Amino acid sequence: MTDLFAPDFKPQPYWWDATPLEAPATSAALPPEADVVVVGAGYTGLHAALAAARQGLGVVVLDAGDAGQGCSSRNGGQISTSVKLSYAQLAARFGADLGGRVLAEGLASREFIRDFVASEGIDCDFETVGRFHGMYKAAHYEQTAREIAAPNPVFDSGAYMVPKGEQHSEIGTDIYHGGVVHPHHASIDPGKYHKGLKEAAQKAGAAVMPFCAVTDISRAGHGFEVRSKRGVIRAGRVVLATNGYTGRLSPWHRRRIIPIGSYVIATEPIEPALMDRLIPKNRILSDTRKLVYYFRASPDRRRILFGGRVSLNETDPRKSGPRLWREMVRIFPQLRQARISHSWAGTVGYSFDKLMHTGQDDGLFYAMGYCGSGVGMASYLGMRIGQQAAGLAEGASAFDEIPFPTMPLYRGNPWFLAPSVMVYRIRDQLGL
């Protein structure tokens, strides 16, 4: 194909077609004070706001751009238990008790989002479709089989192996050496979910103020003064919910969060029969490479959404699009004629220990560092940190108890990213 882009190509998230960001041009004055000010209107911030507002507190949410403009309307909509470390790794690092409680919150996060969308009646195509995780090298099959058989006293993942000879029942490709199915993983339309969540927070009384970047948070008396482009609010408590977009506002957090771009494309609509061959069970999909690729059918099963990291440094979606397309066609050669209808990017927040982190420092609360798996976890920990801000004991999380590491000389500019991507690429090619 000479032009990989469809004539109606949009350099923006596919999800925005159904759920455009509302972008209300407003200069409305901010209230002079609030019990709780939340910085960031993604899943973390809105769940924090909802939890605090439902306790009868006055809550104001400020976002630098439109609410949802960060990762929360840009992601792949894949929901797992989010915690990347195994029970054995967590137990070795934190001891069996705390390690087990961290893992248990992974499960809790997945159940929380499922129950939340059901109880709030949010129409966002949530479905427990399960995940097929392909084995990129033959050696990964036995390795993964051992991993899923290892003792996990916290919960039974229900995961099972699918040998290469049977993988066409899961995915229409021969590139993988079999795979593992995680039957409880789920998919969602992230844009519709964000909109429903925002409406729930507003209905509970939270004021959501877009285009209102916070420029400074300083202590004042028993609370804080939150300075923004549109004025100052005195706040009893503040929740920092800025994740991968954490900038100069809080140098302490910035030193602990690694901002990393993640990129996605959507294809033009494809034939239903082809979709049934490629993704017969509507699973969400990924593989064992260190440089993760994640893909799925759109909720209406008309398009493939394909995401990953395709460049050493951050790049433009018009450049990442063709690179993702080539990788997609390597997995699904049947998509050679499917052009790119959308290409976009967002900035995820990684941490140095591959775990998410919550905590508080004398009235300043935070939850962040989801390492690219935050649809369920940002929702759950946002809710927990909102409960903490409201003074509820049930807001406590195992993530409060683990240290939030940084690296000497790191100030928020991930100079090591390009070399790390290069090393991962080589390791993926060698199957290490």
- List residues binding ligand FAD (CB under 6 A): 39-45, 62-65, 69-72, 74-79, 213-214, 241-245, 247, 249, 262, 264, 294, 307, 346, 348, 368, 370, 372-375, 378
Distances (CA, A) of 169 to 144, 164, 277, 293, 424: 19, 10, 9, 20, 30
- Which residue of this chain has its Cβ atom nearest to ligand FAD in the complex? 374
CB-CB contact of 71 with 42 (8 Å): yes
C-beta of 152: minimal distance to ligand FAD in Å?
20
C-beta of 56: minimal distance to ligand FAD in Å?
23
C-beta of 149: minimal distance to ligand FAD in Å?
25
Closer residue to ligand FAD, CB minimum distance, 132 or 141: 132
Closer residue to ligand FAD, CB minimum distance, 127 or 137: 127
Closer residue to ligand FAD, CB minimum distance, 112 or 141: 112
> What is the rounded distance in angstroms from the CA atom of residue 356 to the CA atom of residue 244?
12
Closer residue to ligand FAD, CB minimum distance, 282 or 334: 282
C-beta of 71: minimal distance to ligand FAD in Å?
3
Q: What three-state secondary structure class fits 404?
A: coil
Closer residue to ligand FAD, CB minimum distance, 91 or 159: 159
User: What is the CB-side half-sphere exposure of residue 387 using CA atoms within 13 A?
Assistant: 13
The dihedral formed by the CA atoms of 54, 55, 57 and 61, expressed in degrees to the nearest 10: -40
C-beta of 271: minimal distance to ligand FAD in Å?
25
Beta bridge pairs of residue 39: 62, 240
Closer residue to ligand FAD, CB minimum distance, 91 or 208: 208
C-beta of 328: minimal distance to ligand FAD in Å?
15
Beta strands in 114-189, from DSSP E residues, in sequence order: 131-134, 160-162, 179-182, 186-187
SS (H, E, C) 208-238: EECCCCEEEEEEECCEEEEEECCEEEEEEEE
First-to-last C-alpha distance (Å) of the chain: 34
